[in-house]
Every structure is written in C-alpha cells, then in structure tokens.
Amino acid sequence: MKYTEEHEWLRPEGDIVTVGITKHATTQLGDIVFVELPEVGATVSKGDEIVVIESVKAASEIMAPLDGEVTEVNTDLADNPALANEDATGAGWFFKIKPSDPSQMDECLDEDAYNALIG
C-alpha cells in the first residue's frame, strides 16, 4: 500500500489502483456524513479535486492521486458514509483508478514515510 501527503491510501491490484483515505484522516475529520464520488469513466489528472467529503464539522476535498480513468466508485459508501470511519482501508474505499502513468506511484509515500508524516 502507498500513501499521499493528503492522507489517501493507494492499493494497486494489476493495472487498477483502489483509493481511500487513511484511518488517521477519518479520525481527524470526525463522523463522515456525506461523500460525493466522481463519475465512472471520468478522466482525471493528479491534483484534481474529485471527491467531496462532509463530516459533522466541515467539507473537505479529496484529490486524484494519479492521472488516469476512474473505473469504479464505492456506491455503498455514498449510501452509508460511516463506512469510511468504520473501515477506512477496507469497505470504506472511495474509487478505483486505472493510471495512465503507473510510474506516478513511485512518487507516493511508503508506509514508514506516511507514519513519519502523521507522527
């Protein structure tokens, strides 16, 4: 698993990468009550704001961690946003992306680097 400084996790499987936000992020955000996901088939660029998360406290945006095409979104999460709090790296995943430049994965943080980031 790889991570970004924006507290996303990326799990590559074949040529598809599943993306969510870390337990640390969901703890900081508090109870998540609404998630707006991108459209399947959308072509996105790294840094595009493609997900909106609303917690009881505030709205936050999640950026595309890689260039690529969104191949699937977690419709269960849209119906039950609390999944992101309950199982951040499992059932609370956000979307799957097919990277157009898989080498961008190398720019992501490994687990040690991410853990160092969040102290």
Partner 1 sequence: MGEPLRTPLHALHVELGARMVVFAGYEMPLQYPMGVMQEHLHTRARAGLFDVSHMGQVILRADSTAAAAEALETLVPVDVAGLAEGRQRYGLFTDDSGGLLDDLMLANRGDHLFLVVNAARKAHDLAHLRTLQGVEVHEITDRALLALQGPAAEAVLADLAPEAADMRFMDVATLTLEGAECWVSRSGYTGEDGYEISVPADRAEALARRLLAHGDVAPIGLGARDSLRLEAGLCLYGHDIDESTTPAEAALGWAIQKVRRRDGARAGGFPGAETILRELADGPARRRVGLRPEGRAPMREGVPLYAGADDDTPVGRITSGGFGPTVGGPVAMGYVPAELAAPGTVVHGELRGKRLPLTVTALPFTPANFKR
Residues near partner 1, by CB under 8 A: 30-31, 33-34, 36, 52, 54, 56-59, 81
Closest CB to partner 1 among residues 36, 87 = 36
* Angstrom distance (rounded) from CA 98 to CA 11: 12
Shortest distance in whole angstroms from residue 53 CB to partner 1: 11
Largest CA distance in the chain: 37
Closest CB to partner 1 among residues 52, 105 = 52
Shortest distance in whole angstroms from residue 54 CB to partner 1: 5
* Angstrom distance (rounded) from CA 97 to CA 119: 29
Tell me how far CA of residue 93 lies from CA of 47, 103, 116, in angstroms. Answer: 18, 22, 23
Closest CB to partner 1 among residues 15, 34 = 34
